[in-house]
Chains A and B, each alone.
Chain A
């Protein structure tokens, strides 16, 4: 590739830090022993695994023996919910509380568990994507086994009040699991202070390798394995340890620097501020309770994949919540849950930063984005910004009405928008009919 890549899709995955690569390398063809072997050669691998376990446990304020390595976030989330359900089935605790904005690996696990007899409550979120802890309290029944919540949302970046929900779970005697794939090393996680019983984390979102993750399970939690084998990881997760991956995971956690978070957050806010200068844009997700690296914006009247493709032409990599870009043409359930309509969902892009993101890169994005949006809006049959340039209130009004008449918008919203611009909806409608006839 001859063009410099500006990678802004760090919520999907991140660049592996060179220090991480270096930490992994010896465990491929030098110290390649099996960490479970009795001999000294295996012990070298075991030391690497134990060292990473120590680092990760410390970062969560947990004990080493409470960290179980897995193949990643999806497996950890599966293990958490399925393992809890299967272990506690006979006690009648078959109720799981989760939210409508979870990652698919939680939602699909819940759908599967429903078929196995579990009862699942999917809690609504507000327009910022925030769970009201009161709703959790209300949903808890004597049969509730676990509350499972995504700490930092992967699409809109909203951070939940983990401490408060943890307090509720503890007082009600219910297990509390968080999916911290996006928030690990970025937001505060302390299994004691936040009363966390299970925590899903992974490596590839924090400049570690793909294919490795972990599940924190508090000592005493009644959980069982979901895959059978040689009894690795204290019997909870059989399978030969991914030693290079685990070594890299530990390194990635070790070098995660809190000081960098402030910088990322600053860049994030600078980017949000500048994108919102483009007319008819909205920030999706909370502005305060937000992952330091997440920006999610809807651009009225245009489609996300088209925006992302134009950006890619400049070497800027982002992702979109648009159905058009998904494998299944399925619209984002997260954007739907915060109340966006189909057009707004399809017009969203997610920009996710990392410690490697520079101001220069963000400035390039800010420079090219307005003209891309303008080009696509000029091409859009539902946009009216190009009419503005031609001037003439009537043309604008007429286009507005055409937009309305196309019924791609609900009436209330349309009227609201007209009023915002100081126009009387009734007058607009009448004038349009006068023109038509």
Chain B
């Protein structure tokens, strides 16, 4: 079925999100909610240091989202972008990157991609807080 609001690429991701789920012992979790739409997104990340470069990388990432088609598809897209990135690179992911990955969304749904950006940042923030505390 075609959907008037979303292009095929978005629907495909919505129906088969690769990163939906949770990580058993995550390095950190980030959750954000969007009051305007009622969407809630939780991101789980597993961070490990790269054997060669020693840089911290997002080795695994999963999401759980309550929301509309755009919210779920955007969640999956942000995970796909972030996976394998170093923490510092992952921090640079913006809603623009997410929109590019997920496909064309109606203007009114663009805020859903911000949700993805914010949830990831929150997870990273929590991770850094946790490691800082650990070191202290």
Q: Is the CB of A381 within 8 A of B68?
A: no
Known contacts: A342-B38, A346-B38. The answer to whether A3 contacts B68 by CB under 8 A is no
Query: How would residues 1 to 39 of chain A score, 1 for a CB under 8 Å from any chain B CB and 0 otherwise?
Result: 101000000000000000000000000000000000000
Query: How would residues 328 to 361 of chain A score, 1 for a CB under 8 Å from any chain B CB and 0 otherwise?
Result: 1100000000000011011000000000000000
Q: Which of A296-319 contact B (CB under 8 A)?
A: 301-306, 309-310, 312-313, 315
Can you list the 4 inter-chain pairs with the closest CB atoms, starting with the nearest? A324-B68, A381-B42, A381-B64, A305-B68
Q: Which of A381-411 contact B (CB under 8 A)?
A: 381-383, 406, 408
> In the complex, which residues of chain A have a beta carbon less than 8 angstroms from the beta carbon of B64?
379-381
Asked if A327 is at the interface (CB within 8 A of a chain B CB), the reply is: yes
Known contacts: A382-B40, A408-B40. The answer to whether A309 contacts B11 by CB under 8 A is yes
The CB with the most chain A CB atoms within 10 A, among B1, B17, B71, is that of B1
The CB with the most chain A CB atoms within 10 A, among B3, B65, B67, is that of B67
> In the complex, which residues of chain A have a beta carbon less than 8 angstroms from the beta carbon of B93?
none
A-B CB contact pairs (8 Å), 22 listed = A301-B66, A303-B39, A305-B68, A306-B72, A313-B1, A322-B38, A322-B68, A323-B37, A324-B37, A324-B38, A324-B39, A324-B68, A343-B38, A378-B20, A379-B64, A380-B64, A380-B66, A381-B42, A381-B64, A383-B66, A408-B33, A408-B40
> In the complex, which residues of chain A have a beta carbon less than 8 angstroms from the beta carbon of B65?
379-381
Query: How would residues 52 to 87 of chain B score, 1 for a CB under 8 Å from any chain A CB and 0 otherwise?
Result: 000000000000111111111000000000000000
Q: Is the CB of A303 within 8 A of B1?
A: no
Asked if B127 is at the interface (CB within 8 A of a chain A CB), the reply is: no
Query: How would residues 29 to 51 of chain A score, 1 for a CB under 8 Å from any chain B CB and 0 otherwise?
Result: 00000000000000000000000
> In the complex, which residues of chain A have a beta carbon less than 8 angstroms from the beta carbon of B39?
303, 324
> In the complex, which residues of chain A have a beta carbon less than 8 angstroms from the beta carbon of B66?
301-303, 376, 379-383
In the docked arrangement, what's the CA distance between A152 and B15, Å?
35
Q: Is the CB of A303 within 8 A of B14?
A: no
Q: Which of B70-120 contact A (CB under 8 A)?
A: 70-72, 108-109
> In the complex, which residues of chain A have a beta carbon less than 8 angstroms from the beta carbon of B40?
380-382, 406, 408
14 more A-B residue pairs beyond the given contacts A313-B1, A406-B40, with a C-beta to C-beta distance below 8 A? A1-B2, A3-B1, A303-B71, A305-B69, A309-B69, A312-B1, A324-B71, A329-B36, A379-B66, A379-B72, A381-B64, A382-B66, A408-B33, A408-B40
Asked if B41 is at the interface (CB within 8 A of a chain A CB), the reply is: yes
- Separation in Å of the B42 CB from the closest CB of chain A? 4
In the docked arrangement, what's the CA distance between A3 and B3, Å?
13
Among B11, B14, B33, B71, which residue has its beta carbon within 8 angstroms of that of A406? Answer: B33
Q: Is the CB of B68 within 8 A of A379?
A: no
- Separation in Å of the B127 CB from the closest CB of chain A? 18
- Separation in Å of the A188 CB from the closest CB of chain B? 37
In the docked arrangement, what's the CA distance between A408 and B35, Å?
10
Q: Is the CB of A303 within 8 A of B68?
A: yes
> In the complex, which residues of chain B have a beta carbon less than 8 angstroms from the beta carbon of A286?
none
The CB with the most chain A CB atoms within 10 A, among B3, B35, B42, B65, is that of B65
> In the complex, which residues of chain A have a beta carbon less than 8 angstroms from the beta carbon of B31?
381, 406
In the docked arrangement, what's the CA distance between A301 and B40, Å?
10
> In the complex, which residues of chain A have a beta carbon less than 8 angstroms from the beta carbon of B20?
378-379
Asked if A113 is at the interface (CB within 8 A of a chain B CB), the reply is: no
Known contacts: A303-B67, A303-B68, A329-B108. The answer to whether A309 contacts B3 by CB under 8 A is yes
> In the complex, which residues of chain A have a beta carbon less than 8 angstroms from the beta carbon of B42?
381
Known contacts: A323-B36, A379-B20. The answer to whether A312 contacts B68 by CB under 8 A is no
> In the complex, which residues of chain B have a beta carbon less than 8 angstroms from the beta carbon of A378?
20
Q: Is the CB of A327 within 8 A of B72?
A: no
> In the complex, which residues of chain B have a beta carbon less than 8 angstroms from the beta carbon of A306?
14, 67-69, 72
Asked if A325 is at the interface (CB within 8 A of a chain B CB), the reply is: yes
Q: Is the CB of B68 within 8 A of A325?
A: yes
> In the complex, which residues of chain B have a beta carbon less than 8 angstroms from the beta carbon of A379?
17, 20, 64-66, 72
- In the complex, what residue of chain B is closest to A3 when comparing beta carbons? B1
- Separation in Å of the A248 CB from the closest CB of chain B? 26
- Separation in Å of the B13 CB from the closest CB of chain A? 12
